[in-house]
Chains A and B, each alone.
Chain A
Amino acid sequence: MFHRANLRNNSKNGRSQVGQNRNSKKKPVAKLTLITEDNESFTVCKKVAEMSMFFKNMLQDTEGIPAPFIVPNVSGYDLKKIIEYCSYHCLDTDCPNDNDSLRSRRDRKIGHWDETFVRNIINKDGDPVIDNLVGLTKAAYFLDIPGLIWLMTKSIANTIDPKPIAEIREIFNVPVPSEREEEILQR
């Protein structure tokens, strides 16, 4: 609770640097430089990077901060978003977990900050919405961040939920099946 309250106060100054600010007060800050496949580099502190199981395992294995690390399969835009998410949530204690049951995952509600986060993904550039969501989901899956995976899958499900089939096909660019296929599917 204390952490969260502290975070709330800092929120006016800009959220994305909060995790780094807090850690930078301590003396030696372990920082990690990440380079994406499209040659954008990011510096994050260890605490933020450890939100990702991928980095956590890597850091445990190497026992030390490696030289600039090239992250495959993740674009600069995705990584920027991921760092934004992780630096907000790095102090949370009740992150969605992989071991959660389907029911608890389903009934959990999207928080206010998360909602604006998802909305910003959509507005960021002129690309179709679902592409960005799927791209970020893929990146989150690759870096193994359970909280972000939960958030992304839930918001993708929300886009599907009340829509008729034809509209879903349009959103996801699913090819319209032929009549014969459709008959098989309807069984």
Chain B
Amino acid sequence: MKKEYIVTKVGRDRERDALRIAVLPLTSCSHFLVIGGNGFVRRGTLCLSSLDAAWWHSGRGSDLPLFLKRRDRVGWALQQPIINIKAQAGSGYLRRVAGISRNTKEGKERLAAEIEMWVLGSARAEGKRSTKIGLARSLTHQGKKVESRAQAQAGQPRTGVLSQRRLSHSFPSALLHGQSLRRLPLGLRNMYPVFDDLPVEMCLKCFAFLPLPDFARVLRLSKKWNKTLDKDFVWRERIMSGPSVAPILRPPAVQAGVNFAECIVEPTACLKQLMALSLAAEQNPLSVIGAGVRASSENNEGQSIKYLEDRYRHFQRYWSSKGSDDPLSDEYLIFQLHGIATIVTEISVTPYEEGSELGVSFSLGFSPDNMHYQSPDFKMENISALLPEPQMFKIKPTLAIGGFLRLDLKGRTARQPSNLKFYTALRLVRAKGFPLGFLEHGALATTLVAFSDRLGYSALRVNQFNYVLPTNGGAPTIAWNALCSALKYPLHHASFFTIERPMDPS
């Protein structure tokens, strides 16, 4: 049996270094879930030290191991507003005090009724003391409960949520087989899950129309739907049917007759992993750009493409094209990314001095000639500044297979006073996202291995990359944590170095 309890006060106990939650009086130990406003859920055991304060601890038997060791968790929990506590009701107290046995059916019913009565009564007593939200919640809670009780006493059937739920679970679908739902009386019809009536093929056809994230959401509706729909062939059909259904895969990623989508081993696990990673790539993007490979033109050796990389970065260095008379002529740059598969979410370009190009677009693919993703055209802002800021161009998370990035720079505005020719010049190019090369387990890694095998690539390089990540004054950041845990590399072994901003040219 489940109850919801109203949180009236949340505080932190400095002595015990634990979270202190005041709930409406409840004098029994029970399992519970604390549900925060930000989807934060924690399971534990509720222990009462006094009538109105509850100690929250790890539930592993001892009092305070978890929070003494991990102070940050308590702090983190406190940042989240706690909405309510759902507890699996405390029948222990009643059993002990009132001596009701729960082994018999009558005893069970009486127990449930007693608990309901008891919680209701205490809610009334404590209602005034609770906070605004708590008060509103407790009032609605009470109202519903009182109503349903009154109905039960008057001999009418209950129409609460609970009774509905029980009915729909116990309703045999064979009873309705061959009958139209519309024939049922309205009250009964509302309690019956509609989709149970629909053949599985029809369900699949319905959900085939949903885009990928929505489909994943529908899978979480109920256990039954999850069981029916979460099948490999469903996901495979989605993968093969093209980008409008699975936006992160933008096929056809075909190299030498090998299609990446065909190499996917376990589509369900693989796509789910991809979705999770694309979320991570959006939230904590890592640097994914490797080395500069080729530029359409370089003015001289001192202005080579390698100065666009982070490791050669210097405030006086930059890449510049050869001079041209035509302001509308284009230039391109080709970079190699880390690994053969990378999720790319954004590209940032720092122009030299004032913005010198008009438009930027980029493409991702297997080689400088075989690109499978083409981004839309982005417009560069021409801000006159001594030290230009990087300009970011964001795209939806895209799986770049093959590991090459091509940057197209369209048009130019900067003119060199000495020979009146147009030049394109950049200080830095960065690509952010999540490199998949270092995934060691999981369906995605298997898929990547299968794909690189079929292409004849030697192997996935795992530990040979030099990752350049932002640091916070020498301290590890979230991005470093993510990388090290993905590499299974102890964090304290990693060396951190700060990258300084280039100094003022003046």
Contacts and interface: CB of A to CB of B under 8 A. Distances in A.
A106 B181 contact: no
A130 B41 CA distance: 33
B201 A172 contact: no
A158 B221 CA distance: 17
A132 interface: yes
Interface core residue of B180, B194, B238 (most chain A CB under 10 Å): B180
Contacts of B198: 134, 137-138
Nearest to B190: A173
A75 B180 CA distance: 7
Interface in A81-119: 101-103, 105-107
Given A106-B244, A160-B210, A175 B182 contact: no
Given A178-B2, A179-B33, A105 B208 contact: yes
B181 A135 contact: yes
B241 A75 contact: no
Interface stretch (A15-23, A47-55, A148-156): A148-156
A1 interface: no
A157 to B, nearest CB: 4
B195 A134 contact: yes
Contacts of B161: 176
Contact of B241 (A101, A130, A156): A101
A172 B245 contact: no
B202 A138 contact: yes
B221 A173 contact: no
**Secondary structure type dominating chain B contacts:** helix
Contacts of B240: 102
A101 B202 CA distance: 16
Interface stretch (A5-13, A24-32, A63-71, A161-169): A161-169
Contact of B221 (A107, A161, A168): A168
Given A72-B178, A157-B206, A175 B193 contact: yes
A95 to B, nearest CB: 15
A185 B192 CA distance: 21
A102 B238 contact: yes
A173 B168 contact: yes
A75 B165 CA distance: 28
Interface in B201-245: 201-202, 205-210, 214, 217-223, 225-226, 237-238, 240-242, 244-245
Given A72-B178, A178-B2, A160 B205 contact: no
B141 interface: no
Contact of A107 (B2, B205, B238, B244): B244
B226 A185 contact: yes
A172 B191 CA distance: 10
B225 to A, nearest CB: 7
A161 B241 CA distance: 19
Given A160-B206, A179-B33, A168 B218 contact: yes
Interface string B33-49: 10000000100000000
Contact of A134 (B165, B197, B225): B197
B71 interface: no
B5 to A, nearest CB: 14
Contacts of A72: 178
B189 interface: yes
Given A102-B237, A103-B244, A131-B189, A172 B206 contact: no
B178 A73 contact: yes
Nearest to A137: B202
B504 to A, nearest CB: 50
Given A72-B178, A149-B202, A160 B168 contact: no
Contacts of A106: 208-209, 241, 244-245
Given A131-B181, A157-B207, A174-B222, A141 B33 contact: no
Given A174-B195, A185-B220, A103 B242 contact: yes
Interface residues of A, number: 48
B490 interface: no
B39 to A, nearest CB: 9
B183 interface: yes
A181 B182 CA distance: 30
A130 to B, nearest CB: 6
Interface core residue of B178, B194, B219 (most chain A CB under 10 Å): B194
A113 B49 CA distance: 68
B456 interface: no
A14 interface: no
Interface core residue of B178, B181, B237, B238 (most chain A CB under 10 Å): B181
B472 to A, nearest CB: 32
B205 A174 contact: no
A35 B193 CA distance: 29
A157 B241 contact: no
Contacts of A154: 209
Contacts of B190: 128, 173
Nearest to B33: A179
A103 B245 contact: yes
Nearest to B207: A157
Given A134-B195, A172-B193, A153 B223 contact: no
B157 interface: no
B206 A132 contact: no
B199 interface: yes
Contacts of A141: 199, 201-202
A131 B210 contact: no
A153 B206 contact: yes
Contact of B194 (A77, A134, A165): A134
A176 B182 contact: no
Q: Which 4 A-B pairs have the closest CB atoms?
A: A157-B209, A102-B241, A153-B205, A103-B241
12 contacts: A102-B208, A102-B238, A102-B245, A103-B245, A128-B189, A135-B182, A172-B221, A173-B191, A175-B165, A179-B2, A183-B41, A185-B219
Interface of B: 2, 33, 41, 86, 161, 164-165, 168-169, 178, 180-183, 189-195, 197-199, 201-202, 205-210, 214, 217-223, 225-226, 237-238, 240-242, 244-245
Given A175-B168, A179-B33, A185-B220, 13 more contacts: A77-B182, A106-B245, A135-B180, A135-B181, A138-B180, A149-B205, A153-B202, A157-B209, A161-B209, A165-B217, A165-B221, A175-B164, A175-B165
